[in-house]
Amino acid sequence: MRRDTRTDEPSRDEVVARAVGDPDASVDEDDAENTSMPGIWMRVFAALFYFIPWIDICTIGEPMYGLLRGVWWGGLIVPQSLMPLYYANPFMPLIIFFCIFLAVVRQKRIPHLVRWNACQAIMMDICSMLYVLVRMYFPAEIRHSAILDYMDRFAWVGSFTAIAYCIYYALRGRYAEIPYVSEACYQQVDMADA
């Protein structure tokens, strides 16, 4: 991928190379603090943001936990303990969204990987909320049939797999690339850097 003629902004590949600590990266080291490989605590902090979409997807995944008896404890107990806090107020998800967006994603002093994972967790949460909202307005013929059960299972498996994938990559200190969502996250974080 070629860089634009602008010399003040690194390309996406260069940002990724710097963030994973590539010694062959050909970018100035003037902001090495923000692009170097974050420590283990920052990586854990980046992975914790994915509890937010996990909490939202638990509402449609409860029947799946009954089918998969071996994973109910990890998939349901951890988010269930955070649900009373998350849903303490009808506006609490919106407040949490703005707090994370303004205090983490827009903060230049926080490592790029943490800000990017926070933004991606917010985007995944928006996607899961949209599915929950859309399913409420399905016709009664679909809501009270097996079609909605299969759609819920598909949405839960896809969301849970994406969340597990992102947590794994966040703990490794790498970027979890999800089509369209990751591109939007790069744009948001790059706008904050500008």
pLDDT digits (tens, 9 = 90+) for 76-108: 666 777 888 888 998 999 999 999 999 999 998
Do 141 and 77 fall within a single domain?
A: yes
Q: Verify that 24 and 44 share a domain, yes or no.
A: no
Number of domains in the chain: 2
Whether residues 99 and 147 fall in one domain: yes
For residues 53 and 21, state if they share a domain.
no
pLDDT at 58 over 60: yes
Q: Is 95 exposed, middle or buried (0-12, 13-18, 19+ CB in 10 A)?
A: exposed
Same domain, 76 and 24: no
First to last CA, the chain: 21
Q: Which domain holds residue 25?
A: 1-37
Choose between 56 and 4: higher pLDDT: 56
| Residue 72: predicted pLDDT | 59
Query: 13-34, pLDDT tens digit by residue?
Result: 666 666 555 444 444 444 554 6
